């Protein structure tokens, strides 16, 4: 049990719609990272939030946005959904800051865009 929970577990949306995915980080963790895992691929870094501020972003367009709340939970928002956005979205929490710490992953949200 990692303590990182994501909701919903599965979601089907229509192209052009907007979606919000949620992540509750593990107790004591102040950093949340989001990854997109397309079918048959490794996870790709979307962005990271540290103490409510964006702390780095991968190669994703601005229609991918996020938030981190004072309790360190986080949301990933995707606007104008495209078919290629269909993927497993993973949230990882950690204690953050400089240096490598273990990132704990949630079970993921499977998003299907039709």
Binding site for another protein (CB under 8 A): 2, 4, 31, 33, 35, 40-45, 48, 50, 55-56, 58, 90, 92, 94, 96-108
Residue closer to another protein by CB (options 96, 113) is 96
CB count within 10 Å of CB 97 equals: 11
Residue 108 C-beta: closest distance to another protein, Å: 5
Residue closer to another protein by CB (options 14, 59) is 59
Residue 48 C-beta: closest distance to another protein, Å: 6
Q: What angle do CA 54, 59, 62 make, to 5 degrees?
A: 60
Residue closer to another protein by CB (options 31, 74) is 31
Indicate the length of the chain as a whole number.
Answer: 114
Residue closer to another protein by CB (options 20, 45) is 45
Residue 111 C-beta: closest distance to another protein, Å: 14
CB count within 10 Å of CB 51 equals: 12
Contact 61, 44 (CB under 8 A): no
Cα–Cα distance, 42 to 18 (Å, whole number): 24
Report residue 12 as tokens: 């089907």
């Amino acid at each position: 049990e990692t303590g990182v929970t994501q909701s919903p577990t599965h979601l089907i949306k229509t192209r052009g719609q907007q979606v919000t995915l949620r992540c509750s980080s593990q107790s004591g963790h102040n950093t949340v990272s989001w990854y997109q895992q397309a079918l048959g691929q490794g996870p790709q870094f979307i962005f990271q939030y540290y103490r409510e501020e964006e702390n780095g972003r991968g190669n994703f367009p601005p229609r991918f946005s996020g938030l981190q709340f004072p309790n360190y939970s986080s949301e990933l928002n995707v606007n104008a959904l495209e078919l290629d956005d269909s993927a497993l979205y993973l949230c990882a929490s950690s204690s953050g800051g400089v240096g490598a710490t273990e990132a704990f992953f949630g079970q993921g949200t499977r998003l299907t865009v039709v």
